[in-house]
Structure 1
């Protein structure tokens, strides 16, 4: 059961296995296995296959109010993929589209570094993850605010680099796998293969890179403030961890 947030919407809790199933596995299986004329046909398989991630993305946006830039780009990406297949455009456009989406996100990350709200600060250095006020007070007391801001800027550049990596890999994988004319059964099957291959070859390395960026940020906080990770976790996360530790302690069995 989900609990409502202050905005009146249910709180959004990550569901990676459902996201993976709906956005990757089911569409890929439909495109690879049901595109033949004896099943759905190439057009119907493309429409139904892409309807899963598109419908799931819209559900997330409407249900939880997750109206963020990256989510919207994801919906645009799915729509463009469907358009390329249905309009039977040259398959080369798919490679361009696959590269363009992460490139646009990476550019947005860079541009955000010149604003009051860098995306790294929004995603990693925020009150839902860290006790920002406590960290800032320690940085001011130690005279390390300027050095921390410089490290945060570096983290922004590293973060943009992960999307550059995704952009290049997306283009190469699309050019390597999708070689058949769009609108054909072979195109759908190759699109499904590309979707499956892109997850381990792009998503997992990108996730590891983002974890390393967070580790870099955390090591910076530790060096400049002297706090341990537990000491700078967001208060609500500390409370959740204490409640979990208490419930799992032998005395409560």
Structure 2
């Protein structure tokens, strides 16, 4: 019997349209349209625009207990962007920051391959997505564990490559779009434009690459075990089908 004092963390259901609205569209509109002195002014617009993704990220962390390295980097990224604008640092630092965040994540992916808990295994090959026990049992039975681990390592390299792509593209976009001095109305407008452009040019291609990596991992599992996707889905997912 569950104690009445026991607090449970609510299930986190992905809300991509809310994420897009709060983290991309609203901040971009504020920065591009309300940075003029006749509206909020450059400083207030920057604070308000960045408050949306920062508050949303904190809400997700506190509400759903999603205290993870990548989420923390996201919050740090928003805070650094605000710091660059408010302290009126050289706009070149924004490009460095934009490139550094995904580069750090990619480096963490590579480092994790030398530990017992590679990030690809944690994110894609885990009991919440696949029936890991069933897959591992079949791999042992067919003496294919070594082959699978080699493919998993290769998937980790591909995964790190997606962040390298993001790092390079972030730097190029920041240098290309944000050219005005920080702390100015023009800087805010360019920051909002960069935020909007980064979604179709960086986020969507990165998501496609992630899907291709999962497909690569899934094809490996099918080839080595003979199972169909439905047969190796996590039990709680299979029940919903």
Q: Deviations over 1:206-242 (max 9, x none)?
A: 000000000000000000000000000000000011x
Aligned to 2:51: 51
Q: Deviations over 1:131-181 (max 9, x none)?
A: 000000000000000000000000000000000000000000000000000
The answer to whether structure 1 residue 111 and structure 2 residue 108 are counterparts is no
The answer to whether structure 1 residue 217 and structure 2 residue 217 are counterparts is yes
Q: Indicate the SS of the match to 2:18.
A: helix
Aligned to 2:3: none
Q: Indicate the SS of the match to 2:239.
A: helix
Aligned to 1:149: 149
The answer to whether structure 1 residue 233 and structure 2 residue 229 are counterparts is no
Q: Deviations over 1:22-49 (max 9, x none)?
A: 0000000000000000000000000000
Q: CA deviation at 1:7?
A: 6.7
5+ residue gaps, structure 2, are 1-5
Structure 1 residues 25 and 239: CA distance shift in structure 2, 3 A? same
Once residues 58 and 234 of structure 2 are traced to their aligned partners in structure 1, the CA distance between those partners, rounded to angstroms, is 30
Q: Indicate the SS of the match to 1:240.
A: coil
Once residues 72 and 229 of structure 1 are traced to their aligned partners in structure 2, the CA distance between those partners, rounded to angstroms, is 33
Q: Deviations over 1:50-102 (max 9, x none)?
A: 00000000000000000010000000000000000000000000000000000
Aligned to 2:197: 197
Aligned to 1:83: 83
Coordinate RMSD, CA, aligned:
0.8
Aligned to 2:127: 127
Once residues 107 and 177 of structure 1 are traced to their aligned partners in structure 2, the CA distance between those partners, rounded to angstroms, is 26
Once residues 68 and 173 of structure 2 are traced to their aligned partners in structure 1, the CA distance between those partners, rounded to angstroms, is 27
Aligned to 2:171: 171
Q: Indicate the SS of the match to 1:138.
A: helix
Once residues 160 and 25 of structure 2 are traced to their aligned partners in structure 1, the CA distance between those partners, rounded to angstroms, is 27
> Normalization by structure 1: what TM-score?
0.93
Once residues 117 and 19 of structure 1 are traced to their aligned partners in structure 2, the CA distance between those partners, rounded to angstroms, is 28
Once residues 155 and 220 of structure 1 are traced to their aligned partners in structure 2, the CA distance between those partners, rounded to angstroms, is 10
Once residues 55 and 26 of structure 1 are traced to their aligned partners in structure 2, the CA distance between those partners, rounded to angstroms, is 13
> Normalization by structure 2: what TM-score?
0.97
Structure 1 consecutive aligned stretches of length 4 or more whose deviation exceeds 3 Å: none
Q: CA deviation at 1:194?
A: 0.2
The answer to whether structure 1 residue 187 and structure 2 residue 184 are counterparts is no
